[in-house]
Structure 1
Amino acid sequence: MSPTPSVAGDPLLQVTQLRLARRHAGVTQEVLREVSLDLAPGRVCALMGVSGAGKSTVLRTIVALEPFEAGRIAVDGVTLTPGPLPRESALRPLRRRVGMVFQQHALFPHLTVHENVTLAPVHALGAVRAHAGSVADSLLESLGVAQRRAVYPDQLSGGEAQRVAIARALALDPPLLLMDEPTAALDPARRAALAETLRALAAAGRTLLITTHDVDFATEVADEVAIMAHGEIVERGPARHVLEQPQHEATRALLRFGER
Structure 2
Amino acid sequence: MSEHRMGPVLHVEALRLTRRQQGESREVLRGISLSLPAGHVCALMGVSGAGKSTVLRSIVALEAFDAGTIRVDGVSLHPGPVPRESALRQFRRKVGMVFQQHALFPHLSVHENVSLAPVHAGGADPRHAARIADDLLASLGVAHRRDAYPAQISGGEAQRVAIARALALDPPLLLLDEPTAALDPARRGALAETLRALAAAGRTLLVTTHDVDFAKAVADEVAVMAAGEIVEIGAAREVLERPNHAATRALLSHELFSRAR
| Coarse TM-score class (shorter-chain normalised) | over 0.9
| Cα RMSD after superposing both structures | 0.8
Deviations 1:29-48 (A, max 9, x none): 00000000000000000000
Secondary structure in 2 aligned to 1:14?
strand
Cross-structure match for 1:98: 95
Which residue type is aligned with residue 28 of structure 1? Answer: S
Report the TM-score, using the length of structure 2 for normalisation: 0.96
1:125 CA drift (Å): 2.1
**Aligned partners of 1:135 and 1:37: how far apart in 2?**
31
Cross-structure match for 1:148: 145
Asked if 1:161 is matched to 2:148, the reply is no
Alignment of 1:1-260 (within 5 A): 9-260=6-257
Deviations 1:168-225 (A, max 9, x none): 0000000000000000000000000000000000000000000001000001100000
1:124 CA drift (Å): 1.9
Secondary structure in 2 aligned to 1:68?
coil
Unmatched runs of 5 consecutive residues or more in structure 1:
1-7
**Aligned partners of 2:155 and 2:19: how far apart in 1?**
32
Report the TM-score, using the length of structure 1 for normalisation: 0.96
Secondary structure in 2 aligned to 1:126?
coil
Secondary structure in 2 aligned to 1:184?
coil
Unmatched runs of 5 consecutive residues or more in structure 2:
none
Cross-structure match for 1:4: none
1:10 CA drift (Å): 3.3
**Aligned partners of 2:157 and 2:49: how far apart in 1?**
28
**Aligned partners of 1:109 and 1:131: how far apart in 2?**
23
Secondary structure in 2 aligned to 1:259?
helix
Q: Percent identity?
A: 75
Secondary structure in 2 aligned to 1:119?
helix
Deviations 1:135-176 (A, max 9, x none): 100100010000000010000100000000000000000000
Which residue type is aligned with residue 26 of structure 1? Answer: G
1:258 CA drift (Å): 1.1
Which residue type is aligned with residue 258 of structure 1? Answer: E
**Aligned partners of 1:243 and 1:72: how far apart in 2?**
28
1:89 CA drift (Å): 1.0
**Aligned partners of 2:187 and 2:150: how far apart in 1?**
18
1:9 CA drift (Å): 3.9
**Aligned partners of 1:54 and 1:146: how far apart in 2?**
35
**Aligned partners of 1:195 and 1:117: how far apart in 2?**
21
Query: Which is further off, 116-125 or 40-49?
Result: 116-125
